[in-house]
A and B are shown apart, each in its own frame.
Chain A
Amino acid sequence: MIEVTNLTKKFNGFTAVDNISFSVAEGEIFAFLGPNGAGKTTTIKILATLLRPTAGKISLNGADPVRNQNEARSSFGIVFQDPSLDDELTALENMEFHGVLYKVSKEVRKSRIEQLLKFVELWDRRGELVKKFSGGMKRRLEVARGLIHHPKILFLDEPTLGLDPQTRSHIWGHIKSLNVEEKMTVFFTTHYMDEADRIAQRIAIIDHGKIVAQGSPSELKQSTSTTSLEDAFLALTGTTIREEESNPLERMRMRRRVFRGR
């Protein structure tokens, strides 16, 4: 379903993704793990047609995200790592907008939006502007939005970041049922190793832009002779804390926060 061969992405001489190859089968749940700045989000952005790769070949459900962008886009859905809601619209309007953009028919749209908003317990607040929501509510809305259309491939970039265990298990339960019922291929990143251990069928670990290990959770534990995925992860990637380069957008956000904080 996802086929990546020798993918490389360089930003002004800095190699974010360094010649990686992997493939994900149809209906598989695949976890892409790595420390901060390892190249996870860059890889997802390339797969999602937001960035153009420097080199390498990709195929998403048979389409090339570089050459046949529209075709590739029609086969996946995505929940981003950082916020991507419109603060000036209500929860319902954000959902509607997504549904229309993804060409979900009106009846399906209506019922799914209601079902999903109830599912993430935001139905009662559907008429409120998103800017009034707390971080957790926004995250829930964002995940719900990503599930309105049932894509063949679902990219989830740290979907459960900042959510409590109840919500996390609730959301994963739903994603798993979509995976079983609709044979949806799921490609996700997370920093919660227990989550990856429980949910992923196969895992790739990326560090410094290179894939350092691939396999099922138990294979990874075996090959590093550890008992938990967390230990396996640390054995493979070391214990140094990573610095992420800040990009202009993050700098701008910081400034805004500084101004607002006064």
Chain B
Amino acid sequence: MNTIYILWLRQLKRYSRSRARIIGSLGQPLLFLVALGFGLNPIYKKAGAGNYIEFLAPGIIAMGVLFSAVFSGIEIIWDRQFGFLKETLVAPTSRIYIMIGRTLGGATVASFQGIITLLLALLVGFRLENVGFLPVTLVFIFLIALLFTAFGTAIASVLEDMQGFQLIMNFLVMPLFFLSGALFPLQGLPEALKIVAQVDPLSYGVDALRITLVNISHFGLVTDFLVLGVITFLILIVGSYLFSRIQI
């Protein structure tokens, strides 16, 4: 228990000390919100689909969480580079606890990042449909964060250095985001794209945020919760296994 706590605390301390990272990682969501939100809003309205900013904001919040979470997980590569990983790996405690502590810490950090993105969205003109749903939103933000931090950890456990990072970003993280329905409705898509979106776990996260924030639903909240829950659980298991197999 203490092991999990101290590793969680470490992630939080590192986060709170890296102001540049906090601010830097808000630039992208802000750009997406302003450029896409305001840029595409007139056409979206003309098509009779309503307010695009309202539609887009939950997707951008999910993006903020996704990037921050994957990055938190991938940070293990830095720990490996700076040697700190060794210190944790030789400790007389189960590596599963270490993996869980780190992942919870990373997920907490990513959740903060999601909440800040939400505040940012409110600042540029996003309006909540139902404030009472906010706690449910937070649960889903945390669930998305947990899933993708574990995902990042799993990947970082098998990568030796940052060489592969670009590959992961372009061939895994970006597609996860762009094909998730964060930017466009999943109705009426070409069949192939639809299938891809249904396989993408982030689609369910985006959908859940959209339901709880602005009351637009595609899969339904129960499906979202089940899919995210099951996948998070599976990735945690795979991640723990890979993490416990790390050799330095």
Contact = CB atoms under 8 A, between A and B. Distances in A.
Contacts of A248: 160-161, 163
A52 interface: yes
B248 interface: yes
B93 A103 contact: yes
Interface stretch (A79-87, A176-184, A221-229): A79-87
The 10 A-B residue pairs with the shortest CB-CB distance, nearest first, are: A74-B92, A84-B83, A101-B91, A73-B92, A100-B6, A84-B87, A248-B161, A252-B161, A50-B248, A83-B83
Contacts of B5: 100
Contacts of A252: 81, 161-162
B91 A253 contact: no
Highest count of chain A CB atoms <10 Å: which of B14, B88, B90: B90
A240 to B, nearest CB: 28
A93 B87 CA distance: 14
Contacts of A75: 92
B81 A249 contact: yes
A89 interface: yes
Interface in A74-129: 74-76, 78, 80, 82-89, 93, 96-98, 100-103, 129
B86 A50 contact: yes
Interface residues of A, number: 35
A249 B77 CA distance: 10
Contacts of B170: none
Highest count of chain B CB atoms <10 Å: which of A52, A83, A251: A83
B92 A98 contact: no
A26 B208 CA distance: 60
Interface string A16-52: 0000000000000000000000000000010011111
B13 A101 contact: no
22 contacts: A49-B90, A50-B86, A50-B89, A50-B247, A73-B91, A73-B92, A73-B93, A76-B90, A80-B87, A84-B84, A85-B84, A85-B87, A88-B13, A88-B17, A96-B6, A100-B6, A101-B87, A101-B93, A103-B92, A103-B93, A248-B160, A249-B161
- Sorting the interface of chain B by its residue count into under 10, 10 to 19, 20 to 34 or 35 or more gives 20 to 34
Interface in B68-126: 79-94
Highest count of chain A CB atoms <10 Å: which of B10, B18, B160, B162: B10
B90 A78 contact: yes
B166 interface: no
Interface string B158-170: 0011110000000
B94 A70 contact: yes
B51 interface: no
A102 B90 CA distance: 10
Contacts of B88: 101
Contacts of B25: none
Contacts of A73: 90-93
B240 to A, nearest CB: 14
Contacts of A48: 90
Interface string A208-236: 00000000000000000000000000000
Contacts of A102: 91-92
A31 to B, nearest CB: 21
Highest count of chain B CB atoms <10 Å: which of A45, A84, A88: A84
Contacts of A98: 87, 91
A62 B152 CA distance: 36
Contacts of B92: 70, 73-75, 102-103
A45 B13 contact: no
Contacts of A253: 81
B194 to A, nearest CB: 41
Contacts of A86: 10, 14, 79, 82, 84, 87
Nearest to B248: A50
Nearest to A247: B160
